[in-house]
A and B are shown apart, each in its own frame.
Chain A
Amino acid sequence: MPESLLQISGLDAYYGKSHVLQDVKLAVNHGELVLVVGRNGMGKTTLLRSILAFPPVKRRGSIVFEGCETSRMTTHRVAALGLGYVPQGRLLFPSLTVEEHLRFAASRSRGQEKAWTLKSVYDLFPELQQRSQVGGGRLSGGEQQMLAVARALVTNPTLLLMDEPSEGLSVQVIQRVKDVCRHLTSSGMAILLVEQNLDMALNLADRAYVFLNGQVVYEESGEEFRADRKRVRA
């Protein structure tokens, strides 16, 4: 099937009256890691929110995921089609323990095989198992990020939306997140990764989109993107 997993075209997004995304066209294929870059305030987070209909974004245009037109669906219906969300700022639940986060999210798990269970995310992040009875508000930044990723994984998504997972993390933890991304794509999951930390994202990307003022200004293959960045640095 040549069809993309996610196919966005003519997407406009708004916060109230302010028009943030303009005519965005973007695609993610099965098992691919697609990178979205752009400076602060260019609309990267808004793109991910638009895909999920996450308030307060309002959107118009076509968003086809797994063959379904989702632009008129509500958040929970889109999510249930197989989208996992690791939001900027993590948005954990302070009243829930680590374990409750995972059980709660796993109760919405889709897919027959259930590749990601509590056990397999604990294997991936042993730190979380040690902190399993701790509240979501009492974790370190790195632990919070692991929990945000784990919470998305146990729903067994086909496409993972990650918004600046390296934000506020040390070099070592960034390396862990990077390994996890590689592990996930090799297991067949697709990832749409928003990242400003190019050291992290550069080697991972199959393709990249560059956002400027709410529009896609470049679309490049991973090789082109890496070559460009080298040139910029030199």
Chain B
Amino acid sequence: MFLVKMCILNGFTLAALLFIVASGLTLSFSLMRVVNLSHGAFYLAGGFVGLSVLNASGSWLLAIGVAGIAIAVLALVEERFFLRWARGNDLIETLVSLSIAIIIGDLVLVIWGGYPKTIKIPEMLSGAVEIPILVVYYPVYRLFMLAMALVLGGGLWLFLKKTNLGITIRAGVDNFNMVAALGFNVKRIFTMVFALSGFLAGAAGVVGGTLMMLVVGEDWRILTLTLIVIIIGGLGSLIGTAVGALITGLAYSFATAYIPEFSLFILFLPVAVILSIRPQGLFGKEAA
């Protein structure tokens, strides 16, 4: 019984992390229709930048902020100077983002080395508390991650629903050519969304690096999990991303606890089932 409870809780907290990583990718993917394969590398680089900032300053919050901003700048450069030239050619765009992922991975290896590192849990969030109904002790930090994902989800929802930029992004997801025909500079919107997506990935790297280890290779594992989340949830849907993250998080958590040798199979099972029933994902819109 204890293991089941732990699996559920761990599944939820992994889902929280996946949601933080995937929400950024969902935004850029739905708007530009191209999967940014460097998103996993953004996560890893963000984690290491955060680690260095933490070592230098001792502030975990500062680490999150600086990592987010550093990766936002990296994303901005990728979009502005590389992806923009390839726009409209899906294959080239995908290859560009793949190349950048590999380059970032190598740079991380050169700068921070190949040994696994972890970010120390901040004093305030260390230790464990008892969860009333489940009667188990659970790390405070993991609960904090859960809260963070909820706040981020709510914030993004409000941003998309209420702000002018949010409405522009939603319209652009539907048809960015028509947004341009109304006089909006879509290229600039693409760059902003890409930078925002980079910010979320970089910040997620610090959040995730505090829970799990940071090491080259982790970038691809996170990218794979994130892509599964997005495929399950569907294009252009924040709720889909949340549900996709929950399914993926729980499946991964139970599979690694009970049948680790089949964990990849268990992970891709929902993908196969959902894609065969709803090719556009659980909450995705049908192609226009």
Q: Which residues of A contact B (CB under 8 A)?
A: 52, 54-55, 74-76, 79-80, 85, 87, 91, 93-96, 100, 103-105, 107-108, 110, 151, 155
Contacts and interface: CB of A to CB of B under 8 A. Distances in A.
Given A108-B184, A110-B183, A91 B178 contact: yes
Chain A interface main SS type: loop
Contacts of B167: 96, 100, 103-104
**Which range contains the number of B residues in contact with the other chain?**
20 to 34
Interface of B: 88, 164, 167-168, 170-171, 173-175, 177-178, 180-187, 236, 285, 288
A207 to B, nearest CB: 25
A71 B164 CA distance: 30
Contacts, number: 64
A95 B174 contact: yes
Nearest to A91: B178
Chain B interface main SS type: helix
B182 A54 contact: no
A192 B185 CA distance: 24
B183 A104 contact: no
A155 B43 CA distance: 41
Given A54-B177, A55-B177, A94-B285, A79 B171 contact: no
Contact of A96 (B164, B171, B186, B288): B171
A96 B174 contact: yes
A93 B171 contact: yes
Given A91-B175, A94-B174, 14 more contacts: A74-B180, A75-B180, A75-B181, A79-B182, A80-B183, A85-B181, A93-B174, A95-B173, A95-B285, A104-B167, A104-B168, A104-B171, A108-B184, A155-B183
17 contacts: A54-B180, A74-B180, A76-B184, A79-B182, A87-B178, A87-B181, A91-B175, A91-B177, A91-B178, A93-B171, A95-B171, A96-B167, A96-B171, A100-B167, A104-B171, A107-B164, A108-B184
A145 to B, nearest CB: 15
A74 B168 CA distance: 18
A151 B170 contact: no
Contacts of B285: 94-95
A79 B236 CA distance: 26
Nearest to A95: B170
A151 B167 CA distance: 14
Contacts of B186: 76
Nearest to B88: A55
A88 to B, nearest CB: 12
B182 A108 contact: yes
A69 to B, nearest CB: 18
B113 to A, nearest CB: 45
Contacts of B180: 54, 74-76, 79
A127 B187 CA distance: 34
A52 B179 CA distance: 12
B172 to A, nearest CB: 9
A95 to B, nearest CB: 4
B74 to A, nearest CB: 26
A94 B173 CA distance: 10
A93 B183 contact: no
A151 B170 CA distance: 16
B183 A76 contact: yes
B181 A54 contact: yes
B31 to A, nearest CB: 12
Interface centre among B173, B178, B236 (most CB of A within 10 A): B178
